[in-house]
């Protein structure tokens, strides 16, 4: 099926031609290219006021793609054009597209449409998406929306808005299917048929006991493959996995990764079911948490999860990068002062300076390798605090082997290629082993220590490791030199 065919499907009158088109499954690159071209076409059509074709081209895409096209419209054309295009969408599509837009674009759309339209969109959105939108909007608009919301729902919205950011509570939706233990499969399916449309997922159903206490879960696949008169209580799993409403979203993501669930129940401290989290929301959490980790490992702090590089202003970029840079500058200044203490050694054997970067760089590089492995290992639960002994023992052996290999390599190069005295070469080689062992042990230990005291291990990556190893490497090297070369400090 070609993209053209998909495009044509929207119009009933062209349906009959689809049979003639040779089916060709496009690979990802061709599909992406086609999409980029179509985005350009939409911008052009919309600019020229050709609304009929704009609409049909837009509607040939999935709502997620349409939202992406709207981001482009808002970036490249104007808010007015975006509002015009938005109003051309069928209402149910408009609601979906709206929920996929980034926060600031949602505010732009809200500002441009009528109160009645806002009320419609809010009413039709999934509950968890609605909460996300309300969290982004300015207070005056939120008040306006809540005024038009029925009292019961307003109460629920306020409860959900109060769950801590990054908690399971902030991810969940109250729109799930509840069943009774005593229902038969037939009754359960009839109930799902009636309730399903308003539900975030129908694929996992929740069996509640008494008031709201969660008794067990039953999957729709178990229901549809069972006979009509079997009881829900016979199909349900009572050993379900749940999360607590105050559990951190990162821990919730770990549970999804581990078990491969499509949805997971969220309960309060009294085991009452308060909502469910679905896998699609967790995919976003995983991506956000990974981005945060990677940025911290690269010495950047303060980016919000949905900030995009190009959308962040120059001054915000500066603010997010400056803290680590200042810290590292101070560390490097200290390193410099330490080196200045060895002025006597350096001025007598100036060639030592040429190997200073080698020692400092090797310390940073080898330490970073170890820290990277441990930080990632901690974040995917491969290593644990109790493994600290095993880790240090492994890093010790690895560092000794690496140290010997690299120092022999350097010794030979310094003597044979640079033509320096064996004593200088020995100074570099000996320091190098010491530096590598120190750096590997530091890189292996620091992330564990951070985790132990409740600091994000990702902060113990390159910036921190290289700052510390720079300091220690230069001291080890120059101290070794002063001893081996017999120069008093």
Considering only residues 82 through 111, tell me which ones interact with a second copy, judged by CB under 8 A: none
Give the contacts of 234 (CB within 8 A, at least 6 positions apart). none
Q: Which stretch binds a second copy (CB under 8 A): 38-46, 70-78, 150-158, 382-390?
A: 382-390
Q: Which value, to the nearest 10 degrees, does the dihedral of the CA atoms of residues 214, 130, 280, 288 take?
A: -110
CB 159 within 8 A of CB 259: no
- Minimum separation from the CB atom of position 148 to a second copy (A): 28
Give the contacts of 66 (CB within 8 A, at least 6 positions apart). 58, 59, 89, 93, 97, 100
300 is an interface residue for a second copy by CB under 8 A: yes
The token pair at 387 is 């493994």
205 is an interface residue for a second copy by CB under 8 A: no
243 is an interface residue for a second copy by CB under 8 A: yes
Instruction: Give the residue with the Cβ less far from a second copy, 118 or 481.
Output: 481
Applying CB under 8 A, which of residues 53, 153, 181, 248 lies at the interface with a second copy?
248
442 is an interface residue for a second copy by CB under 8 A: no
Instruction: Give the residue with the Cβ less far from a second copy, 83 or 215.
Output: 215
CB 463 within 8 A of CB 327: yes
x/- map, 8-47, a second copy, by CB under 8 A: -x-------------xxxxxx-------------------
Q: Which stretch binds a second copy (CB under 8 A): 38-46, 117-125, 141-149, 372-380?
A: 372-380
186 is an interface residue for a second copy by CB under 8 A: no
Q: Which stretch binds a second copy (CB under 8 A): 111-119, 143-151, 190-198, 445-453?
A: 190-198
426 is an interface residue for a second copy by CB under 8 A: no
SS3 454: coil
244 is an interface residue for a second copy by CB under 8 A: yes
Give the residue from 277, 287, 337, 283 showing the smallest Cα distance to 307: 287
Q: CA-CA distance, 199 to 82, in Å (whole number)?
A: 30
Q: Which value, to the nearest 10 degrees, does the dihedral of the CA atoms of residues 280, 284, 285, 290 take?
A: 140
380 is an interface residue for a second copy by CB under 8 A: yes
CB 127 within 8 A of CB 209: no
Site for a second copy in 63-82 (CB under 8 A): 64
455 is an interface residue for a second copy by CB under 8 A: no
Query: What's 38-97 look like in SS3?
Result: HHHHHHHHHHCCCHHHHHHHHHCCCHHHHHHHHHHHHHHCCHHHHHHHHHHCCHHHHHHH
392 is an interface residue for a second copy by CB under 8 A: no
Site for a second copy in 315-354 (CB under 8 A): 315, 317-318, 321-322, 324-326, 328-329, 331-333, 335-337, 339-340, 343, 346-347, 350-351, 353-354
Q: Half-sphere exposure of residue 25, counting CA atoms within 13 Å on the CB side?
A: 0
Instruction: Give the residue with the Cβ less far from a second copy, 83 or 171.
Output: 171
Give me the residues paired with residue 231 across strands: 184
Instruction: Give the residue with the Cβ less far from a second copy, 190 or 423.
Output: 190
Site for a second copy in 464-483 (CB under 8 A): 466-467, 470, 474
Instruction: Give the residue with the Cβ less far from a second copy, 73 or 297.
Output: 297
How would you label 238-266 residue by residue, b for 16+ Cβ within 10 Å and e otherwise?
eebebbbbebbbeebbbbbeeeebebbbb
Give the residue from 392, 390, 366 showing the smallest Cα distance to 445: 392
SS3 179: strand
The alpha-helical segments, DSSP class H, found in 247-387 are: 249-259, 279-297, 314-340, 343-348, 356-379
Per DSSP bridges, beta strands 263-267 and 273-278 are antiparallel
Applying CB under 8 A, which of residues 41, 81, 144, 394 lies at the interface with a second copy?
394
406 is an interface residue for a second copy by CB under 8 A: yes
Number of residues that bind a second copy (CB under 8 A): 136
453 is an interface residue for a second copy by CB under 8 A: no
Q: Which stretch binds a second copy (CB under 8 A): 75-83, 135-143, 150-158, 409-417?
A: 409-417
Sheet with 263-267: strands ordered across: 243-244, 263-267, 273-278
User: What ranges make up the beta strands (E) of 420-472?
Assistant: none
Applying CB under 8 A, which of residues 80, 151, 197, 486 lies at the interface with a second copy?
197
Instruction: Give the residue with the Cβ less far from a second copy, 51 or 203.
Output: 203
Applying CB under 8 A, which of residues 90, 164, 225, 304 lies at the interface with a second copy?
225
Applying CB under 8 A, which of residues 12, 13, 152, 239 lies at the interface with a second copy?
239
End-to-end CA distance of the chain: 78
153 is an interface residue for a second copy by CB under 8 A: no
Instruction: Give the residue with the Cβ less far from a second copy, 53 or 117.
Output: 53
Place of tokens 């059509």: 45
Instruction: Give the residue with the Cβ less far from a second copy, 110 or 436.
Output: 436
Give me the residues paired with residue 173 across strands: 276
């Amino acid at each position: 099926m070609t993209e053209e065919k998909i495009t044509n499907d929207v119009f009933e009158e062209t349906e009959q031609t689809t049979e003639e088109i040779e089916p060709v499954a496009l690979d990802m690159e061709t599909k992406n290219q086609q999409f980029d071209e179509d985005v350009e076409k939409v911008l052009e059509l919309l600019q020229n006021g050709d609304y009929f074709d704009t609409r049909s081209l837009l509607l040939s895409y999935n709502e997620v793609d349409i939202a992406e096209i709207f981001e482009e419209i808002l970036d490249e054309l104007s808010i007015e054009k975006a509002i015009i295009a938005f109003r051309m969408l069928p209402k149910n599509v408009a609601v979906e597209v709206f929920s996929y837009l980034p926060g600031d674009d949602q505010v732009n759309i809200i500002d441009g449409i009528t109160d009645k339209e806002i009320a419609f969109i809010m009413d039709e959105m999934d509950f968890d998406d609605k909460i996300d939108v309300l969290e982004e909007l300015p207070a005056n608009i939120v008040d306006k929306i809540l005024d038009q919301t029925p009292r019961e729902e307003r109460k629920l919205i306020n409860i959900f808005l109060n769950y801590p950011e990054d908690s399971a509570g902030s991810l969940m939706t109250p729109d799930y299917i509840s069943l009774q233990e005593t229902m038969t499969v037939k009754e359960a399916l009839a109930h799902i048929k009636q309730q399903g449309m308003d539900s975030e997922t129908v694929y996992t159903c929740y069996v509640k006991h008494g008031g709201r206490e969660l008794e067990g879960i039953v999957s729709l696949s178990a229901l549809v493959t069972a006979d009509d008169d079997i009881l829900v209580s016979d199909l349900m799993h009572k050993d379900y996995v749940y999360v607590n409403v105050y559990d951190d979203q990162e821990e919730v993501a770990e549970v999804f990764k581990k078990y491969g669930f499509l949805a997971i129940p969220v309960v309060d401290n009294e085991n009452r079911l308060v909502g469910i989290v679905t896998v699609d929301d967790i995919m976003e959490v995983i991506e956000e948490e990974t981005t945060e980790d990677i940025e911290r490992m690269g010495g950047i702090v303060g980016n919000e999860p949905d900030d995009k590089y190009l959308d962040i202003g120059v001054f915000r970029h500066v603010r997010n990068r400056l803290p680590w840079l200042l810290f590292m500058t101070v560390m490097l200044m200290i390193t410099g002062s330490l080196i200045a203490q060895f002025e006597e050694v350096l001025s007598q054997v100036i060639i030592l300076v040429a190997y200073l970067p080698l020692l400092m760089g090797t310390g940073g590089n080898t330490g970073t390798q170890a820290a990277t492995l441990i930080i990632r290992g901690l974040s995917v639960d491969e290593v644990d605090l109790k493994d600290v002994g095993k880790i240090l023992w492994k890093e010790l052996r690895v560092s000794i082997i690496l140290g010997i290999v690299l120092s022999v390599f350097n010794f030979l190069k310094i003597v044979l290629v640079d033509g320096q005295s064996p004593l200088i070469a020995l100074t570099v080689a000996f320091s190098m082993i010491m530096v590598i062992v120190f750096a590997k042990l530091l890189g292996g230990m620091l992330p564990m220590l951070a985790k132990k005291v409740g600091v994000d291990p990702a902060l113990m990556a390159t910036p921190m490791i290289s700052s510390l190893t720079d300091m220690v490497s230069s001291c080890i090297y120059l101290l070794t030199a002063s001893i081996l070369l017999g120069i008093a400090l």
